[in-house]
Amino acid sequence: MEYFKSAFSSILDNKARSLLTMLGIIIGISSVITILAIGNGMKHTIGGELDELQSGGVTINIDAKKTDRYLTAEEVKQIGEQIPEAYGASPQISGYGQAKAKNDLSANITGGNETIIHSQTEKLADGRFFTESDVASASPVGVMTQSAAILLFRSMDAVGMTFDATINGITKTITVVGLIESDEESISDAWKSVSAGELWQYINVYTPHTLLTQGFSLPGENIQSFTVFPEPGKQDEVALKAKRLAENMLGLRGQKAVSIQSFASMLETFNKILNIATMVVTLIAAISLIVGGIGVMNIMTVSVTERTREIGIRKALGARTGSILIQFLFESALLTLIGGILGMIAGYGLTFIVSKFMNFPPKILLSDVALVVLISTSIGLFFGIYPAHRAAKMSPIEALRYE
């Protein structure tokens, strides 16, 4: 406690110098925090989206550069029906726009046939999925998750409610016919966002693909990309069969115009890129932290020299070598700890701003906070050893004589 008080007042006595000394630590820690928070937020959001929506789906693409042929919705459905190990196959059209009911949110509207329910693993909690006849008649019906319903309607009891969807300037009123179960965490997160008024998330809505192509005039009648939904563990087999069937239908065998793209591999690519980015920033941060640590060592050495007389007095009054050592180690650790905390605040501020622009919630993990405290304190302790040792081994007579 005494060490803490003494270290704290010594840091406060030299505010400007302390702050400049901390700068390297602040920059290092804030960049680590920013990349960790952005990385976690992106993994959580994108990974969550991919997991939820496409977990088992395998996408088959027809390369528009190699052929001008395409499949119809009917043919895609047939492909699904001809593969026994698949739950089905569906066109997958995305429309990005606004959804408006009680709240106004960005929406990612996914159009497909009735088998697209198999693109996610959660059960229906309420109502029904849209049917073959909804698809045939391009009914303005939609299905979303319970947490999306909370964000949009501020209610989980949303079956039968309507919202206005606007894509490319066209607005249609869509009726919710079913809700997909959300886990408790996303439900409570959604309620928190609603009560805080923080509505930057996307909501995902499933509708018949015919609604998007006919109702909203989105392109997609001519299908060059579709998704098949394999039974668990049958991904590779189903993908290959779907590819063959598409090639046969199009008469494109052996031309490499049809390719398989699985979401698992997309997720892998995304994670790889994110990991490389994390590594690069971590490396920069590590260098910044080492440079910052050397700065702390320099300033502490200067401070020890300036305070030679004080050290002499303390020793004359009975301070042991260890007390002086601990006093200066404490001071340098406290210096870097404060720097680390300031860096953490700066980092989260930066993350908050970035997340506003990039449409994902910042994710602050307790383990990151613990990491920052640990790293910054260790830097202070490590780089404080030399100056503290210098202070501790001073001879009291010489230190007292120092002017």
Partner 1 sequence: MSKLVEIINVSKIYNPGENEVRALDGVSLSIDKGEFVAIIGQSGSGKSTLMNILGCLDTPTAGIYRLHGMDVSHMSDNEQSDVRNMEIGFIFQGFNLIQSLTALENVELPLTYRGVAKKERLKLSKNALSRVGLANRMDHKPQEMSGGQQQRVAIARAIAQAPPILLADEPTGNLDSGSSREIIEIIKRLHSEGRTVILITHDPGIAAQAKRIITISDGKIKSDVINTAQEG
# residues near partner 1 by CB under 8 A: 21
Q: Please report which helix (H) or strand (E) contains residue 181, including its range.
A: none
Binding test (CB under 8 A) with partner 1, winner from 24, 80, 230, 312:
312
**Shortest distance, CB of residue 275 to partner 1, whole angstroms?**
48
272 binds partner 1 per the rule CB under 8 A: no
Find all residues with CB under 8 Å of 156, minimum gap 6, and list them. Answer: 146, 149, 150, 179, 187
3-state secondary structure at position 205: strand
Give the shortest CB-381-to-partner 1 separation in angstroms. Answer: 22
The strand ranges marked E within 147-238 are 162-167, 170-180, 202-208, 225-230
Tell whether residue 396 is a contact of partner 1 (CB under 8 A): yes
Mark 8-47 with x for binding to partner 1 (rule: CB under 8 A) and - for no binding. -xx--x----------------------------------
Q: x/- contact string, 225-264, with partner 1 (CB under 8 A)?
A: ----------------------------------------
Under rule CB under 8 A, residue 326 binds partner 1: no
Closer residue to partner 1 (CB): 81 or 398: 398
> Per DSSP, what are the bridge partners of residue 163?
174
Helix residue ranges per DSSP H, 262-365: 263-306, 308-316, 321-358
Sequence letter at residue 116: I
- 318 binding partner 1? (CB under 8 A): yes
Q: Residue 310 interacts with partner 1 (CB under 8 A)?
A: yes
Give the span between the Cα atoms of 146 and 128, in whole angstroms.
Answer: 13
**What one-character-per-residue DSSP string does 102-171 give?**
SSEEEEEEEEE-GGGGGGS-SPEEEE----HHHHHTT--EEEEEHHHHHHHHS-S--TT-EEEEEETTEE
In the bound state with partner 1, the residue whose beta carbon lies nearer, of 177 and 324, is: 324
Q: Measured between alpha carbons, how far is 78 from 90 in angstroms, rounded to an integer?
A: 10
Q: Which of 240, 316, 358, 370 binds partner 1 (CB under 8 A)?
A: 316
Choice between 243 and 314, CB closer to partner 1: 314
Q: Which two tokens stand for residue 349?
A: 């501020």
Q: Is 321 near partner 1 (CB under 8 A)?
A: yes
Q: Of these, 319, 338, 341, 375, which contacts partner 1 (CB under 8 A)?
A: 319
- Minimum distance of partner 1 from residue 317's CB (angstroms): 4
Segment interacting with partner 1, rule: CB under 8 A, options 137-145, 238-246, 282-290, 318-326: 318-326
Among residues 380, 281, 276, the alpha carbon closest in space to that of 25 is found at 380
Is 322 near partner 1 (CB under 8 A)?
A: yes
List residues binding partner 1 (CB under 8 A). Answer: 2, 9-10, 13, 309-310, 312-323, 396-397, 400
